[in-house]
Structure 1
Amino acid sequence: MEKRDSSLQSFDYLLILRGACAFAVVLRHYPFEFYTALGTSHLEWLLRPFGYIPVLVFFCLSGFLITQNFILGRYEPGSILGVWGYYRNRALRVLPLYYFSILACVLIYWPESFYRWDEVLALFGFVGAYKIDGGIIFNHVYWSLPVEVAFFVLAPVLFFSMRWLCLSLGVLGALLFIILAYFIYSAIVFWDIPYDDGFVMSRAIWNRLAHHDVIYNFEVFLLGGIAAFYVNGQSRRGTVRGQLFFKVSLASLILLMFARTGIVGDALFQKGKVDAFTLYLLLPLLGFWFLGFTMLYAKPQLIRVSRIGLLFRRALEALGHWSYGVYLFHMPILSIVEKFDILSGSAYQNSVMSFLALICVIAFSAMTYRLIEKPVMRFRMRSGHLVSSSA
């Protein structure tokens, strides 16, 4: 019997990516100012990436994993029973923790939430706003849930549309078709917005679209879905996995997006403006990046690691499992920590407070995963082939 190399461990990079995105959202929303205290303000774009990018990666992951579930036969989108099983599992995955977070926010923001009970009820139906007059009251991230749920509802129909595009145009042609169609859509939507300083428009209008327009955000879901057709439609063995140039290109592209949106984009945001890069290029570039990422890392891989590397991998994958809770609860928990007014004022004190809140978020998310998410998963219907990463 051949002895197995104990240093070989399986890495689920899609799960790790999901955890990294949740962590990036927290870094963006929390008042971490260690870069100021350490004199590294020029690296803020890397330490606190533009918050929209990790959310878009979430959307890409959802589009990829759900489309892959259809491709691999876990759900049959052409049958009533298959679609019912899909909707049932999606509801069990999304609703329990989301509804629990709403109830938690009602208690945290009591009594203000009591006087806006109609807005609280609207959140349960994914039709409510995430802000009220006078500031954020419920949860800063609730804008993304209606967008995700709209895609989940339409996913069986969109699957057939994406499959038809891939069969008719090929995967690359389907990608370019979606990018071109959305470029035209964006141009039509914003054609009458006054521009100045070149290609610059109102941040308020863009923010409304980016946070509330379902169609505008569907581009990245579709690009993630097309990536699933590519990854599961042909053998990838020996194509790009060992090519250093491909990996360097992927890293350079994500750094370009971080730098362009973090340095230039943040400066424009402070002036109430958005540039053409954010409006027209960010989504398609991210889609291309995600396609390349899945070409390399879509399936768990055996990699030789040390014990320290194994612990690091387990920590990252655990964060991936807890990512939904981290995403939903990081702002409410920060509000609780801030109410105690333990530390505030200097850049160093704000960073310590942020680390304290982050520890609480991770601990609470681990608890809700164990007590809410994981038990509910036992009731999910299982059929066909199972994919390696749960959506």
Structure 2
Amino acid sequence: MTSAIEKSYGDTSFITGMRAFAALAVIMIHCGGAGFRELGEIGKNIANFGAAGVFVFFVISGFSVASSYEASSNYRSYLSKRLWRIAPLYYFWLGVSILLGTTSLYWQQQFSVPVDIYNIAMHLTFLSFLDFQIANTIIGVEWSIPIEVFWYLAVPFMMRLSRGTKQLAALIAVSLIVHIISARAATLFPFLGENAPLAMQWSPVPYALCYALGIVVYRVRPYIRHSDAIGNLAFVISAILLLAYMCAPRVFAKIFFDELVFTSLVTTVLLLFGSSKSRMFTLVFGNRVAQFLGIVSYGLYLAHMPLLELLTRYDGFWIQNPTSKFLLVSLCGTVVSAITYHAFEQRFVAFGKNISRRFSSSAPLSEIQS
């Protein structure tokens, strides 16, 4: 039996552990690199790669959303589950950030925008991606949440258009082209000015590839014969590629076009070939610590910036040193996220599933990874 803070997703439980590493990677870069920058050029590359944790989240989300949609009896039931999964905790941290005064002053000052009624309303309606100047001005990492909601709406239609092998290949090709075009925003969209890359980065457009690859994983994974040897080989190859990337990121960026494409492809390989049968996947992603952090990873992602702002107000060595800062923020974030998971998040997820059943002619036959 599992405790209230543990879940089992059978052969794909390792994905929960992957979420933990993605969340910690994001915290690492926001905490000054967790000490890696002081280790030389490769250390700087490791620290900078922390930003790619969001890409990992998006590919995993694509797989989870595809699973959720297929397990739901209709679109309303599916969408209800997804929104009740993501919205309550998001609203909670929007409110906490405003009430405690831990909003993102950097981006407010960068674009001379206040946290006013317009700003808050755009956040509450998940439309803040339409105005990049306010997209990241409250929690400090919330730019990604409206993007997830956008793809919640779009993924079911993408799945209907990609039921065959040719259609699935076309989906990948189109999403890759869209990403390449978005990466050239500064040249192609001069009316956005010098902020064109940022405006595109905080929009749903570049991440079509992440969600398309998540759909690929959902479609293809059932046909793969999983074993200890196959899983271990996929893990080793992915680890070698990541280490090589840390040593020569510019070279890999030319080969794979950019970091998003590289990270998304590596994540796809892990999702396709990983399983509980692999000792390496179980050791790294299936251990109790990784599983625990993965369960509360959504709360950890939202909580770490407000907590970092609060902790920074109390000057001291432990907050000036990037290593101790990372450890302290991660520890505090884990504690707070565990509390909000039990007292808040878990209850609303269960409530959302009950609501979704009212939109269904019958309850889903299987629990999906939420």
Scaled to the shorter chain, the TM-score interval is 0.7 to 0.9
2:205 paired residue number: 215
State the one-letter code of the partner of 2:92. Answer: F
- Computed over aligned residues only, the root mean square deviation of the Cα atoms, in angstroms, reads 3.8
Deviations 1:28-84 (A, max 9, x none): 101355346xx52334246424243110111100111111234xx4114xxxxx111
Structure 1 residue 211, shift from structure 2 partner: 1.5
Which of 330, 335, 338 is 2:312 aligned to? Answer: 338
- 1:323 aligns with 297
The aligned amino acid for 2:86 is V
- Which stretch shifts more, 288-297 or 140-149? 288-297
Q: Give the distance between the partners of 1:257 and 1:283, measured in 2 at CA.
A: 12
Q: Are 1:118 and 2:118 an aligned pair?
A: yes
More strand by share: 1
Letter in 2 for 1:230: V
In structure 1, what is the equivalent of residue 97 of structure 2?
105
CA deviation string 1:224-280 (max 9, x = no partner)? 111211113x24245971663x4432223333444555xx59xxxxxxxxx974994
| CA separation of 1:100 and 1:294: change in aligned 2, threshold 3 A | same
Cα distance change on mapping 1:332 and 1:180 into 2, 3 Å: closer
Distance between the aligned counterparts of 1:237 and 1:384, measured in 2? 26
How far the C-alpha of 1:222 sits from its partner, in A, is 1.0
Deviation at 1:184, TM superposition (A): 5.9
Q: Structure 1, residues 119-142: CA drift from partner, whole Å, max 9, x if none?
A: 122211122379879x97512211
In structure 1, the residue matched to 2:161 is: 161
User: Secondary structure of 1:23's match?
Assistant: helix
TM-score by length of 2: 0.78
> How do 1:208-247 and structure 2 match up within 5 A?
208-212=199-203, 214-232=204-222, 234-237=223-226, 241=230, 244=233, 246-247=234-235
- Which runs of 5 or more structure 1 residues have no equivalent in the other structure? 1-8, 77-81, 195-201, 266-274
Judged with a 3 Å threshold, the aligned counterparts in structure 2 of structure 1 residues 248 and 85 are, in CA distance, closer, same or farther, namely same
Is the partner of 1:162 in helix, strand or coil? coil
> Mean alpha-carbon deviation: is it higher for 173-182 or for 94-103?
173-182
Contact 2:200 / 2:206 at 8 angstroms: preserved in 1?
yes
2:7 alignment counterpart: none
C-alpha distance in 2 between matches for 1:293 and 1:315 = 19
1:10 CA displacement: 7.5
Higher gyration radius (CA): 1
Aligned residues: 342
State the alpha-carbon separation in 2 of the partners of residues 288 and 175 from structure 1. Answer: 15
C-alpha separation between the residues in 2 aligned to 1:145 and 1:22? 14
Q: Which amino acid aligns with 2:302?
A: L
How far residue 315 of structure 1 moved from its aligned partner, in angstroms, is 1.1
Q: Aligned runs of 1:117-156 on 2, under 5 Å?
A: 117-128=117-128, 137-156=137-156
Q: Percent identity?
A: 21
Mean Cα deviation higher: 184-193 or 357-366: 184-193
349-358 or 89-98, which deviates more: 349-358
Match of 2:87 in 1: 95
Change in Cα spacing, 1:377 to 1:276, as seen in structure 2 (3 Å) is: closer
- 1:87 to 1:276, Cα distance in 2 relative to 1, 3 A: same
- Asked whether the equivalents of residues 307 and 332 of structure 2 are also in contact (C-alpha less than 8 Å), the reply is yes
Q: Which of residues 243, 250, 253 is equivalent to 2:241?
A: 253
1:193 Cα shift?
7.3
Counterpart code for 2:264: G
Which residue is equivalent to 1:351? 323
**Alpha-carbon distance between aligned partners in 1 of 2:330 and 2:179, rounded to the nearest angstrom:** 38
What does the per-residue CA deviation read over 1:282-333, in whole Å, with 9 as the maximum and x for residues that have no partner? Answer: 3333333222112221x54475999xx6998111101001100111010000
Deviation of 1:153 after TM superposition, in Å, equals: 1.4
Q: Aligned ranges for residues 1-391 of structure 1 at < 5 Å?
A: 12-32=13-33, 34-35=35-36, 40-45=39-44, 47-70=46-69, 73-76=70-73, 82-109=74-101, 116-128=116-128, 137-163=137-163, 166-169=164-167, 173-174=169-170, 177-178=173-174, 180-182=176-178, 185-186=181-182, 189=185, 191-192=187-188, 204-212=195-203, 214-232=204-222, 234-237=223-226, 241=230, 244=233, 246-261=234-249, 277=254, 280-297=257-274, 299-301=275-277, 303=279, 313-343=287-317, 349-379=321-351, 380=353, 381=356, 383-386=363-366, 390-391=369-370
The 3 A distance-change label for structure 1 pair 257 and 206 is farther
Distance across 1 between alignment mates of 2:231 and 2:148: 34
Q: Report the AA paired with residue 384 of structure 1.
A: P
Q: Is the 8 A contact 1:162 1:222 kept in 2?
A: no
Q: Secondary structure of 2:316's partner?
A: coil
What's the offset of the Cα at 1:337? 0.6
By how many angstroms is 1:27 displaced?
0.4
Q: TM-score, normalised to structure 1's length? A: 0.74
Q: Tell me the secondary structure at the aligned position of residue 53 of structure 1.
A: helix
